[in-house]
Amino acid sequence: MGACCGKNKKPTQTPKPTTQPKPVTNLQAPPAVEKPPAPVVVSQPPQVISIFKPIPNSRKVFFFSVQENKAFILTASLPFPFSRNCGICQLSQHNFIIAGGNEYNSDELTSDAMIFEGKALSGRRIASMPAPSAMQTLIYIEKIKLVYAVGGLQVKTIDESNDDHSDLIPGNFSVYDLKLKQWNVLEQMPKKLCCPTCYFVRDSIFAAGGFILKQDKFARYETIQVYNLQEARWKILQLKFTLPVVGALAVPLEPKQILIVGGMKDLNTSASMAYLFDEEAGFSNLKDFKVSNIQFVPPVYRTEKYVYILAEPEILGRYDRATKEFEHFPLMSLMQQNADIRSLNTFNSTFNGIYTYHCDLSNKTITTFNTLSQEKSSIKLQSIQYRDAGIAFLPDGSLFFAGGVAANSPNPKPTNQCFRYDPVSQTEEAMTQLPKALRGIRLISTQDTIIAIAGFDDSESSYKEVYSCYIKFSDQIWVDLPNMLIAVRYPACCLLENSIYVIGGEEVIDEGIEEIRDCIQVCDLSSMVWTVKTLKYNIPAKCMGLIPFTEKTVLIFGGEDADGNEVKSSYEFDGENFRKAEDLPGDAAVMHFDDPACIRDGEAYIFNSAGDLYRLDFNSLSWEEVEAEEKSVNQI
C-alpha cells in the first residue's frame, strides 16, 4: 500500500491555542446547496465507505462516501473513545489501525491502540504502543504485514531528562506485527526531531524536517532522515526539507511525486498550504486554503482521477491527479438527511407449538418430543449435518440453522451454510449464507429478524475473534453488527428492552488457553453501541441455556464453569438484577444447552446437548427432568 498517514494537529504538553477553531466561511459549497443541513447521527454506514475521520473525545465517526457523494456521522462501538492527535492508517478496504494520541479530556498522552472496522462500526483493542505518544505517522507495509509508527512526539522519561536537546522527544520508532499481534521498538532516528513529515517510498521510510522545543522556543529543522527496510537502519541525507511546515500529511503519488498538505507553521498555528514535490522539479505550491485553522488528517482515499482527504473543521479536500488542482468543500452540505435507522422487533421469538427438538447434527438426526403425548421420536436429515451450529425457532415453528462444522471432516473447518427445516413437511431448504464461515453461533430470533452472535473460526489466525451479524426476513441480506468489547464464545444471549444482552462465555487468551467470563455486555439497538455492565453474572460460565418467559424477563441456567464442571444453577434476569431460581434436577454430567426451548401454556421444554429433557414451570420457576421413551425413527 505504501501510503503515508500522518497527523497534523498540535502536540500535547506544549502551549495550547488561545481560541477554539472558528467556523469556515470562505469555502465554496456545491452550487445546488443553499444552506447546509444539520448533521444527522445514523446507525449504519454508507454502502461503500471511502474515507473517514474520528471525532475526537467521542465514539463517533465522520464518514464520506465518494460513490454516494454523501457524508455521515456514525456512532461506533469502541473499547475507548477516539483520541486527539492519534495515528491512523489503512489495513484493508474497511479496516484501520488507530494508535496513540491524547487521552479523553486531558493533555496526557495515551498508548492505547485498536483496529477499527469501518463497515462493522466497531473497534477491538490490540496491544498498547511501547510508550504513550501523539501525532505519529502510521505506515502499513502490506507485503510484510507490519505497521510502522514514526515521528510524532512523546514526553521525556526520567532517564532521558539529562538530554537538554529538547523538552520533548520524538515518539518511539516502533513496529506492530499483525501476525504476532505485538509492538517492537526499533533503532531510533539519529536526530531527535519532533513531528517530521513522514512517508514511505521504494522500501524506505522518510522523516523530513521536524522541530525541537527548548524553554518554549520553537525551532524548525530541514533535516531529512531515511530508514531503509532492507538494511534496518537510519541515515541522514544531504538533501534539505525546505517547506515551512512540520507534521504535514504526505501522500506518495505516481510517478515520483508526493502531495504534502497541512501541518503546522509553529506550535499554535496550522499551515494552510498544499504542495507537490516532484523528484525532478522539486517543490511547487498548489494552493493556499486561506483557512487559519485547517488541519488535514489521515487516512486518504485514492481513485484513478482524484485523491480525497478530510480536514478539520468538516472539510473535504480533493486533488485532481491530471490537472494538479486542489479543491475543497464544506462537508456539512453533503450530510445524509434521510438515514435508514436500523430497527428490530425487540422481543425474543418463542415457538408456542407442541414439539421441542434436540439436534444431533453429527449424526444428522433430530429428536422430537411431543409435549402433549409425551412421546419422543427421531428424524433423519439429508443436508443439515454441521455440528456446533446456531439453532433457533422461526415464528412459523420451523428450525433455522447457521454455520457449524462438518461432522466427519478430517480437517474440520466452519461453514457459512444456513438452512431452514420444516418439521411438518420434513423438508430442508438452503437459506442465505452467512458473510463468513463460523461455528458456535448463538441465535436470537424475533418476528422479523435473526441475530447471530459470537460466531468464530478457530481454524484461522483470527481464532481469538468473534463475529456477529443479523438478517431481516424481508431483505435476506446479512448485515454486520459491531464487535463486542470482550470477544466471548458460547455466551447466553437474549433481547431485553431494545438491547442485545450477552452474558458470560469464554474468552480465548492464547491458543489453547481460555478464560471463563462473568461479564454482561449490552448492545443498544438504537445506537448499535456495546457497553459492559458493572453487574456480573453470579457464576462465570459458558454454554448456558436461556428461556424468555416475559417480554422483560429471562431465565438463565446450566452451563460449564472454569473448572469444566457442570453448573445447575438458575437465575431470573430482567436486565438489571439476578434472582436465584431452583437448580436443575438430576445428575447429568453435561449441562450445555444448544437447542431452543418450546414454550406453551405457562411451561417450557428444552433439551441439553446430551439429549436430557427438562420442563420448566413458569409460575414456580421449578424444574423437573422428563423421561420419555423413543417410539419411532422417521426417514425423509
Tell me the three cell numbers of residue 251.
501522500
Choose the weakest-confidence range: 33-42, 437-446, 537-546.
33-42
Q: Is pLDDT above 50 for 314?
A: yes
Choose the weakest-confidence range: 122-126, 487-491, 543-547, 581-585.
122-126
Contacts of 512 (CB under 8 A, 6+ apart): none
Residue 174 has a pLDDT of 95
Q: Is pLDDT above 80 for 615?
A: yes
Once rounded to an integer, what is the mean pLDDT over residues 420-439?
89
At 334, the pLDDT band (50, 70, 90 cuts) reads low
Once rounded to an integer, what is the mean pLDDT over residues 315-335?
81
Report which of residues 157 and 341 the model is more confident about: 157
Once rounded to an integer, what is the mean pLDDT over residues 227-253?
91
Instruction: Choose from 40-54, 216-230, 268-282 the range with maximum mean pLDDT.
Output: 216-230
DSSP per-residue codes, 121-174: TEEEE-PPPSS--BSPEEEEEGGGTEEEEES-BEE--TTTTT-TT-SEEPPP-E
Name the DSSP letter for residue 456.
B
- Percent of the chain topping pLDDT 70: 85
Once rounded to an integer, what is the mean pLDDT over residues 588-612?
89
- Euclidean distance between CA atoms 132 and 99, whole angstroms: 9
At 106, the pLDDT band (50, 70, 90 cuts) reads low
DSSP per-residue codes, 563-631: TS-B---EEEE-SS-EEEEPPP-S--S-----SPPEEETTEEEEE-TTS-EEEEETTTTEEEEE---EE
Rounded to the nearest angstrom, the gap between the alpha carbon of residue 614 and the centroid of all alpha carbons in its chain is 38
Residue 180 has a pLDDT of 93
Average pLDDT, the chain: 82
As a three-state string, the secondary structure of 313-363 is CCEEEEEECCCCCEEEEEHHHHECCCCCCCCCCCCCCCECCCEEEEEEHHH
- Euclidean distance between CA atoms 123 and 468, whole angstroms: 13
* CB-count exposure of residue 311 (10 Å: 0-12, 13-18, 19+): buried
Residue linked to cell 444527522: 40
Residue 566 has a pLDDT of 93
Q: Do 388 and 595 contact (CB within 8 A), yes or no?
A: no
Contacts of 369 (CB under 8 A, 6+ apart): 355, 356, 357, 358, 375, 376, 605, 607, 613, 626, 628
Residue 630 has a pLDDT of 67
| C-alpha radius of gyration, the chain, whole number | 29
